Structure 1
Amino acid sequence: MNDELERAAQNLQIPARISAAARDVLAQIAPAWRAREATGLAVSAKVIAAFARANIDDSHLAGSTGYAYHDRGREAYEALLADVLDAPAALARLQFVSGTHAIVAALTALLPPGAKLCSISGPPYDTLRMAIEDHPSGLARAGGVSYFEAAWTSGRAPSEQDVNDALRRAPDVVFIQRSRGYAARPSLSVDQIGALIAIAREHAPGATIVVDNCYGELVEVREPTAVGADVIIGSLIKNPGGG
């Protein structure tokens, strides 16, 4: 990398002090880059192995009538996704137009009128919060769902006391958002999600754990389902779609 940097500095006539600073930065971030590359290789191997186990071949790419009768491609693709995402089953359909749509569909299925939904990762991102609580036709107002959330200290870390207090209200569904969304907090790692799930299992043992995994797919070798999440939901226009 330093050789390429030197050539670029010479070609672009970059001052020596700036190229020296760039070399220092490269040295500082080198361990993080190596860790990222190692994770990328491990995830790639996991995905390739899942393709092999699903026996994906060109016949799975054949067109269909859309009625799903004998749709080998759909069945194999969903088996592949389930394997990659550490889940027993997967549902991937064109009828879900976005990650937010899929999340709201899942929450609607899990939350009958009178049920309680608790977000223990702070407020969800704006459009999802609109669908859950703020819009008149959202889950809370139109669906009769009670919604509450645990605060995050300074927006960057969960307050364990607030999480415990929220869970003692016996929610039917516990929601965790992996991505930071528009908040100042860092995104959550799988280990951090696992720790939150352990707290939820202790204080709300009957709750279904739902993780919004958008932007989090394939960035670690494990997915939230590997640490106890009951349902994870993502978006095919993001990481799984190569974006």
Structure 2
Amino acid sequence: MSHSWKAELPEELQEKVAKVDKMIAPRLAEIDEQVLYNQQRVLNLFRKHHVGEEDLVPSTGYGYDDIGRDKLEAIYADYFKVDDALVRPQFASGTHAISTALFSMLRPGDTLYYLTGTPYDTIQEVIGLAGDKPGNMSEYGIKFKTTELLDNGEVDYQHAENDLADPSIKVVAIQRSLGYAVRASFTVAKIRKMISFVKRVRPDVNIFIDNCYGEFSETEEPTFFGADLMAGSLYKNAGAGLVKSGAYLVGRKDLIEGAGSRLTVPGAGKGEGATWGYLRDMYQGFFMAAHTTGEAQKGMVYAAALCAEMGMDVAPKWDEPRTDIVQTVNFGEPDPMVKFCAAIQHFSPMNSFVDPIPYHQDGYEDEVVMASGSFVEGSTIELSSDGPLRPPYRLYIQGGLSYAHAKIAITQAVNETFYQNK
């Protein structure tokens, strides 16, 4: 009896897996070094701030004088090298944190400008570019402008410099990850160049970063280079699969105070907001984030290499730089895309018996197919895959709490999609 996890795979697929394992080994070792560096920084901050059992005791009611919450926010501020932070379970999602940040910085008549092209679907609803739900920015007289990216996926700096001459622009937003766009995610080095450009052309505006999927994916973060405010989700990297609710904002003290007033009420601001039973998970999640993000990145390197071996178009390629936990695979047609997505669901720890069915989800323009057999609903640091059913039928795979799980699920997805009906 064989005890190999791949014993029942077709022989051809076993050979491809063996080839991929050997090929990507040096890249996985590089990720291990990145994890060690980031883990050391986090550990040093836990030691510096004297984290103890008393910091894990949650508050109730108004949440005044929540010592553990305040210390956790000080650790976030230190890690991201900024003045202050807002790390709260009251944020329903990363999109909620982004919306809170943008509304707190913009007033009627102001313009929000996206340097990185039109943002993804849920942010379009916040702005008022899509959907018909009340409360979007356009209802408040907040305008929107963007410079679309060049054909190669890079920022059109020449065009952007002309657009930034508009004095009504008060916030310049940069989206790190690709969303549902057909482009590469932006590395911190590229974001550093964007920040430098904006500060030269419009030093008076606030620079906002959508950092979702990006934390701990490199050894530097956008706030190291002068971003004024940045948002991310605790369902993604920074929560390590442990946090049940919440998101974060980090940045300049006055902007964090403004966002706190927007999240709660003016006057109380970030002084209010009970942490109930969340603090232990939020501390442990942040401590585990460097490791968990590394595991997810390893899984996506494997996915890129194996899918490329199957002849599929992937981005990024296995040996290219990674700045988030997202891997895209182009299927060219809907049927194999849905089938692959279904296999990810079938090899998940939760709801493995469910078949994903494309449907219209709130916040998205096209039918979307999603697989997410996660312990935390909607968690994308846990292995999941999704994508809109529109050409080029591109599936967005992300996360994986362990490399082992990602490797098994991706391999079985390839098996179910390309071998079982042969």
- Superposed CA deviations along residues 26-53 of structure 1, whole A, max 9, x for unmatched, are 3432332222111111111111111111
**Relative to total residues, which structure has the larger helix share, 1 or 2?**
1
Point out the more displaced range, 18-27 or 219-228.
18-27
Match of 1:198 in 2: 196
Is the counterpart of residue 83 in structure 1 residue 81 in structure 2? no
Match of 2:157 in 1: 160
Match of 1:130 in 2: 125
Change (3 A) 1:147 1:72: same
**Residue type matched to 1:31 in 2?**
P
Point out the more displaced range, 57-66 or 206-215.
57-66
1:166 CA displacement: 2.3
Point out the more displaced range, 168-177 or 61-70.
61-70
1:85 and 1:223 in contact (8 A); partners too: yes
For 1:163 and 1:234, locate their aligned partners in 2 and report how far apart those are by CA, in whole Å. Answer: 25
For 2:6 and 2:139, locate their aligned partners in 1 and report how far apart those are by CA, in whole Å. Answer: 64
1:86 and 1:222 in contact (8 A); partners too: no
Change (3 A) 1:167 1:29: farther
Match of 2:48 in 1: 53
Aligned to 2:144, what secondary structure does the other structure show?
Answer: strand
Aligned to 2:86, what secondary structure does the other structure show?
Answer: coil
1:121 and 1:177 in contact (8 A); partners too: yes
- Superposed CA deviations along residues 134-182 of structure 1, whole A, max 9, x for unmatched, are 256311x212112100111237222222222222224211000111001
For 1:193 and 1:53, locate their aligned partners in 2 and report how far apart those are by CA, in whole Å. Answer: 29
Match of 1:3 in 2: none
How large is the RMSD of aligned CA atoms in angstroms?
Answer: 2.2
Could you state the TM-score of these two structures normalised by the residue count of structure 2? Answer: 0.52
Aligned to 1:92, what secondary structure does the other structure show?
Answer: strand
- Superposed CA deviations along residues 181-226 of structure 1, whole A, max 9, x for unmatched, are 0101111111111011111111111110000111111111221110
Aligned to 2:230, what secondary structure does the other structure show?
Answer: strand
**Residue type matched to 2:177 in 1?**
S
1:9 CA displacement: 8.6
Match of 1:115 in 2: 110
**Residue type matched to 1:187 in 2?**
S
1:87 CA displacement: 1.8
Match of 1:39 in 2: 34
For 1:105 and 1:121, locate their aligned partners in 2 and report how far apart those are by CA, in whole Å. Answer: 20
Match of 2:182 in 1: 184
**Residue type matched to 1:224 in 2?**
P
For 2:106 and 2:153, locate their aligned partners in 1 and report how far apart those are by CA, in whole Å. Answer: 28
- The counterpart of 2:97, out of the listed 96, 102, 108, is 102
Alignment of 1:213-228 (within 5 A): 213-228=211-226
Point out the more displaced range, 28-37 or 43-52.
28-37
- The counterpart of 2:146, out of the listed 146, 149, 153, is 149
Change (3 A) 1:55 1:22: same
1:10 CA displacement: 8.4
For 1:161 and 1:9, locate their aligned partners in 2 and report how far apart those are by CA, in whole Å. Answer: 53
1:190 and 1:227 in contact (8 A); partners too: no
Q: Which runs of 5+ in 2 are unaligned?
A: 241-380, 382-422
Point out the more displaced range, 206-215 or 59-68.
59-68
- Superposed CA deviations along residues 92-136 of structure 1, whole A, max 9, x for unmatched, are 122221111111111111111111211001111101111113256
1:24 CA displacement: 3.5
- Superposed CA deviations along residues 49-100 of structure 1, whole A, max 9, x for unmatched, are 1111121110011132332232111111111111222222101122221111
**Residue type matched to 1:162 in 2?**
H
**Residue type matched to 1:138 in 2?**
N
Match of 1:4 in 2: none
Point out the more displaced range, 91-100 or 225-234.
91-100
Aligned to 2:51, what secondary structure does the other structure show?
Answer: coil
Aligned to 1:174, what secondary structure does the other structure show?
Answer: strand
Match of 2:238 in 1: 240
For 1:118 and 1:151, locate their aligned partners in 2 and report how far apart those are by CA, in whole Å. Answer: 11
Could you state the TM-score of these two structures normalised by the residue count of structure 1? Answer: 0.88
For 2:163 and 2:212, locate their aligned partners in 1 and report how far apart those are by CA, in whole Å. Answer: 24
For 2:9 and 2:97, locate their aligned partners in 1 and report how far apart those are by CA, in whole Å. Answer: 51
Match of 2:66 in 1: 71
**Residue type matched to 1:236 in 2?**
L
Match of 2:173 in 1: 175
For 1:63 and 1:173, locate their aligned partners in 2 and report how far apart those are by CA, in whole Å. Answer: 35
Number of corresponding residues: 236
For 1:96 and 1:55, locate their aligned partners in 2 and report how far apart those are by CA, in whole Å. Answer: 26
**Residue type matched to 1:166 in 2?**
D
1:234 CA displacement: 0.6
For 1:164 and 1:114, locate their aligned partners in 2 and report how far apart those are by CA, in whole Å. Answer: 21
1:25 CA displacement: 2.9
2:6 and 2:14 in contact (8 A); partners too: no
